[in-house]
Amino acid sequence: MEIPVIDLTPYVDVASGKFSCDERLHPELKTVCLEVSRILKETGALLVRDPRCSNEDNDRFIDMMEKYFEQPKEVKRVQERPHQHYQVGSKPGGVEIPRSLVDHEMQKNLRALPKDRQPKIPTGPDLKSQYMWRVGPRPSKTRFKELNSEPVIPEGFPEWKKIMDSWGFKMISTVEAVAELAAIGFDLPKDTFTNLMKLGPHLLGPTGSDLGSHGEEGTVFAGYHYDINFLTIHYKSKFPGLNIWLRNGEKVEVKVPDGCLLIQAGKQLEWMTAGECKAGMHEVVVTESTLAAIEAAKRENRSLWRVSSSLFSNVASDVVLKPLEHFAKSPLAANYPPMYAGDYFEKELSMINLKGKNGS
């Protein structure tokens, strides 16, 4: 199946005051709300078009990140913060273990998929590098200081903070729009999710995959996994290679239309809906389409680093994760016991990061 594109323009019109949004709700917007919640429930993924996010914004961001990732490893090492779970600054390749290598239940589920829908099974840690940039204000008091650390700014990039914050805030605005639409579609108050997102440790976390050094078909840059945050949002990459799995088990090589963004459900949304929305599974591998894009980049003398324009939105670390309102009555709610979002986050990070607080 193809993932339909949701146009967020009606929401943006409401936000800008073009027409009012009261309890009766504009009919066109109500339809959008129901579509957003239905698609998230049925597929775990969503394509949206937001007039506030442009190709130019993304290109400026990608161009800067290509220059960053192209630097020697010893230069990027200065920005590494292993004692903070690599949740700020640079995360080198070889640190993160694909969940499919450590989660036995996931291994059982993926083996049950038909052969043509199974992911590429990695043999070791992810090859991808990553840069973690905190977007938005931090809480003045929190039990999880390491998850709310200040951003790390590399030398030699005078526009770094401006570009990262500008693009990060725009993507968060898109996530907030989807969060409100989804809440209404799920018959919850529209600010149910956005209230929990306030002061959340949102991460603009572009990944860098070196296709010049690891450009062979079948190479796994990010092994089969789900995200542990609320909603993950991506703008279009210059290189294909992202595969996602829909709720029905169908494997889809993502083709994001120009000017659109891909949103995937994370584990926090699954928790708050008692599993009605499942966290979306995905991987990044070198495919035939990737090889064609590599050859085109070589002809045009462009960078061979595949940069993902990704942001990981989160609920606040001190929020208690639990099934919300009518979802708490679900027979599956017992599978999602109450726990601090920060505790869940740290537990998951300890499972997938090879190098812990001591960098060992």
Q: Is residue 261 part of a domain?
A: yes
Tokens of 196: 């929990």
Integer Cα distance of 316 and 147 in angstroms: 10
**Whole-number pLDDT of residue 23:** 41
Q: Is residue 246 part of a domain?
A: yes
- Residue pLDDT, tens place only, 164-199: 999 999 999 999 999 999 999 999 999 999 999 999
Query: Does 343 have pLDDT greater than 90?
Result: yes
153: in domain: yes
Question: Looking at per-residue confidence, does 257 or 355 come out higher?
Answer: 257
Domain that holds residue 217: 5-13+25-352
**Is 265 within a domain?**
yes
- Average model confidence (pLDDT) for the chain? 91
Tell me if 283 is assigned to some domain: yes
How far, CA to CA in Å, does 189 sit from each of 152, 267, 275?
36, 21, 19
Q: Number of structural domains, the chain?
A: 1
Task: Give percent of the chain above pLDDT 90.
Answer: 74
User: Range with the lowest mean pLDDT among 30-44, 100-114, 240-254, 278-292?
Assistant: 100-114
Strand partners of residue 221: none
Domain membership of residue 18 (yes or no) is no
| Confidence at residue 109, expressed as pLDDT on a 0 to 100 scale | 87
User: Whole-angstrom Cα distance, residue 110 to residue 276?
Assistant: 20
Residue 74 lies in a domain: yes
- Give SS3 for 321: strand
> Full-prediction pTM beyond 0.75?
yes
- pLDDT at position 359, please? 33
Of 70-74, 135-139, 147-151, 340-344, least confident by mean pLDDT is 147-151
Q: Give the pLDDT confidence score for residue 36 in this predicted structure.
A: 95
Q: 302: domain CATH number? A: 2.60.120.330
Mean pLDDT computed over 91-103: 89
C-alpha to C-alpha distance for 99 and 96, rounded to whole angstroms: 9
Q: Does residue 358 fall inside a structural domain? A: no
The band of 149, judged by pLDDT with boundaries at 50, 70 and 90, is: confident
